[in-house]
Chains A and B, each alone.
Chain A
Amino acid sequence: MASLISCRDIWKVYRVGEVQVEALRGVDLTIEQGEFVAVMGSSGSGKSTLMNILGCLDQPTRGSYHLDGAEVAGMRSDRLAEIRNRQIGFVFQSFNLIPRTSSLENAQLPLFYRGLPLKEQRLQAAEALRRVGLSGREHHFPAQLSGGQQQRVAIARALVASPTLLLADEPTGNLDTRSSEEIMEILQGLNREGMTVIVVTHEPDVAAYASREIVVTDGRVVSDRAMRSRQGIGH
């Protein structure tokens, strides 16, 4: 069986005025279905750029990226939007919920763009909120929820589409320790159910939940090792 993610010699070069910035310099990476990977690196290391490319938000300048067997590099933006919609779930550091819009509607968003009937959207979004433990908060606005709860709405939004890949960019960066643990346990739970999870972080505590750790420095993968993943509280 082909790997879920297969990157070969990925380069990303930005042009800032006269200067060329090489954010990624030949990254090779293979991630199998069902892995829990932590991508670590200091700011400016290129880990966010890598995350954007893996998430089909951005295109590599050179190299090839196969996601679930399909070549993503060079795809048109509409096709990329479809892939993000069906195969990828995003969790961001700053939650990125739509303000003054209920949890339910936030969680519905991917299904909304998939064109599902409204009733179906609501049912599935309510189920996703239940899975992250937010039953009863369907009609709360983001501003009425704590940071941890907002991030859980964001996770519900990511998993409502039943993606094969969940990408979390510093998911605990804006949260206190307890909320961070809750969020990481939810991600770990989803991984146990078979979802491939990639977490970008610079916190070793967060990376400790993963079963594999990749370190990016200066646009290159400098370390790639399997780890014994930390067991969540109560396990």
Chain B
Amino acid sequence: MAAFVWLTILTALRVLGRNRMRTALTMLGIVIGVGAVIAMVSIGDGARRAVQRQIATMGTNVIIVWPGVTTVSGVRGSQGGAVTLTVADALDLKKKVPLLSETAWAKRDVMQIVNGNRNWNGSINGVSPSYLTIRDWSFTSGGPFTQADLDSAARVALIGQTVAENLFEPGEEPVGAVIRIKNVPFRVIGVLAPKGQSAQGSDQDDVIFIPFTTAERKVFGTLFLGSVGGIFASTERVDDLPEAVEQIREIIRMRHRLQGEQPDDFTIRTQVDIGKVQQGTSQTLTVMLFAIASVSLLVGGIGIMNILLVSVTERTREIGVRMAVGAKRRHIVVQFLIEAMTLSVLGGALGILFGVTGAKLTTVIAGWPTIVSGAVIAAAFGFSLVIGLFFGLYPAAKAARLNPIDALRYE
């Protein structure tokens, strides 16, 4: 049987090599289908990986609580505009939710920062020290501020890469320098390592961190002391996130004296929620992609079936001879199936080649990240095989059903 299959493959290759143009045109559908799938999936995977990386820059297992919309006499305020969340809420969560490994609070505003004759408008964030742990910020030089700095409302600042580049000369060491935020002098004690774009597209490195107490007392001039722009927390394990979110919701509702039907006056989001939005988009794309690819592969398969039917007719006498010298029906079926699969697999292999090349070219020319995975290549290959098998069945059966006498006499 091995010799039979091997010789049949060789025969198929020879038959296909005889009509090169016909073979090439027949394979084209499969080549385009498989090539498109490989290229698109590679680009999609690359994009997904980039988004995942961006989401990972948020930190690890992060939960964010924002103050919600307040409704005053039927007029809704803007999201985050209320002062419903407080430091006391955060401290209470820290005490009552053991699932939370870290809890922090923050408040931000955009203000002018001055260093000598340079100035920059940046996002000033007053944060409690564990905020840096939750968001996984690391330092290129210097280090974080401490609980003591928070307690004493110290005038120390951590600056992001973008801020450092705009306030300091290249090569100048920011750590130790004194900058002014709203005319209040701050000593720079750390420069943050770059994170790049966030999943929403904003520059995460355009940032300054100062102790929360310093921010609210000396810079922002807050009306309500203790109000925060957001509470940040994290859990040890990603599986703990839903449970932690429920507990946080209950505690804050209790603290805010919200009764049964009253809506939350705050919003809770986790890193997983944010990831899901991105995944939803890429899933829609994937479904569309597969719809297009299946149409193209279907057309390719029909092309193969068509050309095989022609081939069966052209080679009726040959089929008759083969039957006369002892080919059983299954030999004839296998011969034409192998021919179909040779066509589709060759087409698939070419498609893989074009797809991978296309993906690489996209990276080189457009600069998009692409990931060519072995699994996709294997799936494309397997799929071409199945197409050959499926669309080869009918012509093969037609050939095997021939009557040897009629086949031998066929002109």
B1-40 interface code vs A (CB 8 A; 1 in, 0 out) = 1011011000100100010000000000000000000000
A211 at the interface (CB under 8 A from B): no
Docked-complex contact B322 and A118, CB < 8 angstroms:
no
On chain B, the number of residues with a Cβ less than 8 Å from chain A's Cβ atoms is 25
Docked-complex contact B325 and A109, CB < 8 angstroms:
yes
Q: Which of A149-196 contact B (CB under 8 A)?
A: 157, 161
Docked-complex contact B18 and A100, CB < 8 angstroms:
yes
Docked-complex contact B326 and A78, CB < 8 angstroms:
no
Docked-complex contact B3 and A92, CB < 8 angstroms:
no
Docked-complex contact A115 and B4, CB < 8 angstroms:
yes
B379-411 interface code vs A (CB 8 A; 1 in, 0 out) = 000000000000000000000000011001000
Q: Which of B207-215, B250-258, B313-321, B356-364 is the contact stretch? A: B313-321
Instruction: Specify the main secondary structure of chain B where it touches its partner.
Output: helix
Smallest beta-carbon distance B334→chain A, Å: 11
Q: Which of B329-381 contact A (CB under 8 A)?
A: 329-331
B295 at the interface (CB under 8 A from A): no
In the bound assembly, the distance between CA atoms of A78 and B317 in angstroms comes to: 19
* CB neighbours of A115 from chain B (8 A): 1, 3-4
Range for the number of chain A residues in contact with chain B: 20 to 34
Smallest beta-carbon distance B139→chain A, Å: 70
Knowing A113-B326, A113-B331, the reply to whether A96 touches B321 (Cβ < 8 A) is: yes
Smallest beta-carbon distance B22→chain A, Å: 15
Knowing A112-B7, A113-B331, the reply to whether A96 touches B326 (Cβ < 8 A) is: no
* CB neighbours of A110 from chain B (8 A): 325-326
* CB neighbours of A117 from chain B (8 A): 3
Smallest beta-carbon distance B84→chain A, Å: 83
B323 at the interface (CB under 8 A from A): yes
Docked-complex contact A90 and B325, CB < 8 angstroms:
yes
- Selected from B317, B320, B328, the residue in CB contact (under 8 A) with A113 is B328
Q: Which of A57-99 contact B (CB under 8 A)?
A: 57-58, 77-78, 81-82, 84-86, 90, 92, 96-99
Docked-complex contact A90 and B329, CB < 8 angstroms:
no
Smallest beta-carbon distance A116→chain B, Å: 7
Docked-complex contact A116 and B326, CB < 8 angstroms:
no
B327 at the interface (CB under 8 A from A): yes
* CB neighbours of A81 from chain B (8 A): 323, 326-329
Knowing A52-B405, A96-B317, the reply to whether A84 touches B3 (Cβ < 8 A) is: no
Q: Which of B281-328 contact A (CB under 8 A)?
A: 317-318, 320-328
In the bound assembly, the distance between CA atoms of A118 and B11 in angstroms comes to: 14
- Selected from A85, A98, A116, A118, the residue in CB contact (under 8 A) with B318 is A98
Docked-complex contact B325 and A58, CB < 8 angstroms:
no
Docked-complex contact A77 and B408, CB < 8 angstroms:
no
* CB neighbours of B329 from chain A (8 A): 77-78, 81
* CB neighbours of B330 from chain A (8 A): 78
In the bound assembly, the distance between CA atoms of A100 and B317 in angstroms comes to: 14
A114 at the interface (CB under 8 A from B): yes
Question: Which chain B residue lies CB-closest to A77?
Answer: B329
In the bound assembly, the distance between CA atoms of A121 and B323 in angstroms comes to: 18
In the bound assembly, the distance between CA atoms of A85 and B328 in angstroms comes to: 10
* CB neighbours of B1 from chain A (8 A): 115
Question: Which chain A residue lies CB-closest to B321?
Answer: A96
Question: Which chain B residue lies CB-closest to A158?
Answer: B325
In the bound assembly, the distance between CA atoms of A97 and B322 in angstroms comes to: 10
* CB neighbours of A82 from chain B (8 A): 326, 328
Smallest beta-carbon distance B330→chain A, Å: 8
Question: Which chain B residue lies CB-closest to A49?
Answer: B405
* CB neighbours of B323 from chain A (8 A): 57, 81, 84
Smallest beta-carbon distance A115→chain B, Å: 6
In the bound assembly, the distance between CA atoms of A110 and B326 in angstroms comes to: 6
Smallest beta-carbon distance A125→chain B, Å: 12
Knowing A92-B408, A96-B320, A96-B408, the reply to whether A118 touches B6 (Cβ < 8 A) is: yes
- Selected from A58, A78, A113, A121, the residue in CB contact (under 8 A) with B322 is A113
Counting chain A CB atoms within 10 Å of each CB, the highest count among B321, B323, B327, B330 belongs to B321
**A/B interface sample: 26 pairs, CB < 8 A:** A52-B405, A57-B323, A57-B405, A57-B408, A81-B326, A81-B327, A84-B323, A84-B324, A84-B326, A85-B326, A86-B326, A90-B324, A90-B325, A96-B317, A96-B320, A96-B321, A96-B324, A97-B321, A98-B321, A99-B318, A101-B11, A109-B321, A110-B326, A112-B3, A112-B7, A113-B322
Write the residues of chain A forming the contact surface with B, with a CB cutoff of 8 angstroms. Answer: 52, 55, 57-58, 77-78, 81-82, 84-86, 90, 92, 96-101, 109-110, 112-118, 121, 157, 161
Contacts A78-B328, A101-B11, A109-B325 known; 10 new A-B pairs at CB < 8 A: A57-B404, A82-B328, A84-B323, A85-B325, A98-B318, A98-B322, A109-B321, A112-B4, A113-B322, A121-B3
In the A-B complex, list the 4 residue pairs whose CB atoms are closest, starting with the nearest. A85-B326, A113-B326, A110-B325, A81-B328
